Amino acid sequence: MKGVGEAGTIASTPAVVNAIVDALRPLGVRDVTMPCTPERVWRAIEAARGVSQDAAAQHQARQSDQTQGNSPRSVQSGPIDPSGETA
Amino acid sequence: MIPASFDYVRPGSLDEAIAALADGGDDAKVIAGGQSLLPLLRLRLAYPELLVDIGAIDELTGVTSDGDSLLIGARTSHYQVMHDPLVREHCGLLAQATGTVADPAVRHRGTIGGSLAHGDPAGDLPAVIAALDGVLVARGPAGERQIPAGDFFVDYLTTALEPGEILTGVRVPKLGAGWGYRYEKFHRTAQAWATVGVAALARRSNGQIAEARVGLTNMGTVPVRATAVESAVAGAEASAGAITAAAAAADEGTQPPADLHGAPDYRRHLARVLTGRALAAAAGV
């Protein structure tokens, strides 16, 4: 019976993502990769508009950046973020 | 993590603090609220041999009116700045923006001087002070220096403060009638750094924007002024269309960072959108 309580929540994630894709469909967007961060939604719109020719490529590159998490601020922002930013 | 060991002094006067800092040389750091320095110490990204705590120097705390400007002591906490009657009356931009810094716990401990001396381009206050054309006041063994904000922020986490100098305060102009303001901050959790922030000031006159100033948070290694927007909007009609057109130049000359919070081109987009919103609010459009 383990995990049976989750069953009712599983549909919520695709429901939200489908709602986002549905809202963006008039712009030509057919998919937004989870998590639907503001940046990914923006990139999906840009790519669909063809405004930024390489937006889709950057979208992919961005995802691999996030997986690696090796930017300078990522070193700082993990532990420091919760406690704040200033002296 | 536990910080590396260091010596600690808590002088009772500014002169004693300057002397202590001079004795410590390059290995000494000033600590005020500790909201940036303590995490750096615990991560061992910084390991000074001496900490000079300026927490007992009461002359560095508080806001005073001085002619056309306000002098804000470096050790004044964010909470005090937010609620100070003089700041609220004459420099609402600073009060509003300070209210977006981190979270209440940090705002009670952290200080305006510490935030500025830390020189983090992702911090909110450097861009605000840049937009205000603030002047930073520092004192060292050689005496007092007044450093305009444009010269103070030199590079990432680097300011024009010399070793041995202590930031004692910041001078900001009293904004007269006719000036509107807004700090727009985009971040995904309430206490996080700004992915991008925009500090805007606008003076309206006869349905036009007579003058505007725009400072950008986290769009380079230092806070930047969106000078292209400032020129484009000066003398323009105070309308949504004119402001949006001018805001399209917000990212001109910037070098936004790439990190987990956003890629450079996304930050450029944010800068344009947020500049439009901030200027519209400042101009009452």
Query: Do the beta carbons of residue B129 and residue B74 sit within 8 Å?
Result: no
The domains found in chain B, sorted by start residue, are 7-53 (3.30.43.10), 62-173 (3.30.465.10), 181-282 (3.30.390.50)
Report pLDDT for A8: 82
Instruction: Output DSSP code: residue B191.
Output: T
**Taking residues B200-218, what's their average pLDDT?**
97
A54: contact with B, CB 8 A cutoff: no
Judged by a CB distance cut-off of 8 A, whether residue B33 touches chain A is yes
Window from A55-64, B81-90, B136-145, B159-168 with minimum mean pLDDT:
A55-64
Predicted confidence at residue A2, as pLDDT, reads 64
- Give A2→chain B minimum CA distance, Å: 33
- Average pLDDT value for residue range B39-47: 93
Asked if B266 and A83 come within 8 Å (Cβ–Cβ), the reply is no
Note whether A84 contacts B43, CB cutoff 8 Å. no
Residue B10 CB neighbours (<10 A) = 15
| Closest chain A C-alpha to B206 CA, distance in angstroms | 37
Record: contact B118-A87, CB cut-off 8 A? yes
pTM of the model: 0.87
pLDDT in tens, B109-131: 999 999 999 999 999 999 999 99
Residue located via tokens 């503001």: A38
pLDDT in tens, B248-265: 999 999 999 999 899 999
* Degrees, nearest 5: CA angle B75-B115-B183: 115
Percent of chain B with pLDDT over 90: 96
ipTM score assigned to the predicted complex: 0.84
pLDDT of amino acid B139:
98
The rounded percent of chain B whose pLDDT value lies above 70 is 100
What's the rounded mean pLDDT across residues B18-34?
94
Mean of pLDDT values over B180-206: 96
Q: Phi/psi class of residue B209: alpha, beta or left (left: φ > 0; alpha: ψ in -120 to 50)?
A: beta
Q: pLDDT tens per residue, chain A (87 residues)?
A: 567 888 888 899 999 999 999 999 999 999 999 999 999 999 999 999 885 445 545 555 454 444 433 344 433 333 343 333 444
Task: Kindly state the average pLDDT of the residues B52-79.
Answer: 97
Report the relative pairing of strands B166-173 and B158-159 from DSSP bridges. unpaired
**Residues of B (226-285) whose Cβ lies below 8 Å from A:** 257-263, 265-266, 269
Angstrom distance (rounded) from CA B271 to CA B184: 10
Sheet containing B143-148: give its strands across.
B63-66, B69-73, B166-173, B135-140, B143-148
Average pLDDT, chain B: 96
- How many Cα neighbours within 13 Å face the side chain of B147? 24
Q: Which residue has the higher pLDDT, B156 or A58?
A: B156
B209: DSSP letter: E
